[in-house]
């Protein structure tokens, strides 16, 4: 778990050591207050959960320094009995840089 913190990959992913420590501190605070983990780790170790959330790009710091999640909103094309008609498949990030890139693809 702490080995990931020694590698530059996680530091570069977040944008620097200060941002990494800020992200860890804020997310740990949220988990301690009852927030649900965004990864499926069977451990009580909240630091391991936060590191894994970062490594899986589940959380990031927005420009104001607040923790954001990169949850996806997905609707599926289900057969007629479910909706009375076909539904379109859409997958859109809920926020962050991925959302901006997804919005650019609509041209």
At 28-69, the pLDDT tens digits run 999 999 999 999 999 999 999 999 999 999 999 999 989 998
- Cβ-based neighbours of 54, under 8 Å, separated by 6 or more: 10, 13, 14, 20, 23, 24
The CA dihedral of 14, 19, 61, 107, to the nearest 10 degrees, is -50
At 68-96, the pLDDT tens digits run 988 654 444 545 555 555 444 444 455 54
In the predicted structure, residue 12 carries a pLDDT above the cut 70: yes
């Amino acid at each position: 778990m702490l080995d990931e913190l020694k590698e530059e990959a996680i530091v570069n992913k977040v944008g620097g050591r200060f941002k990494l420590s800020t992200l860890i501190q804020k997310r740990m605070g949220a988990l301690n207050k009852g927030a649900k983990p965004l990864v499926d780790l069977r451990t009580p170790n909240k630091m391991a959960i936060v590191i894994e959330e970062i490594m899986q790009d589940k959380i990031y710091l927005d420009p104001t320094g607040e923790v954001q999640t990169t949850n996806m909103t997905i609707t599926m094309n289900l057969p007629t009995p479910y909706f009375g008609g076909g539904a379109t498949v859409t997958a859109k990030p809920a926020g962050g840089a991925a959302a901006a890139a997804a919005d650019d693809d609509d041209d």
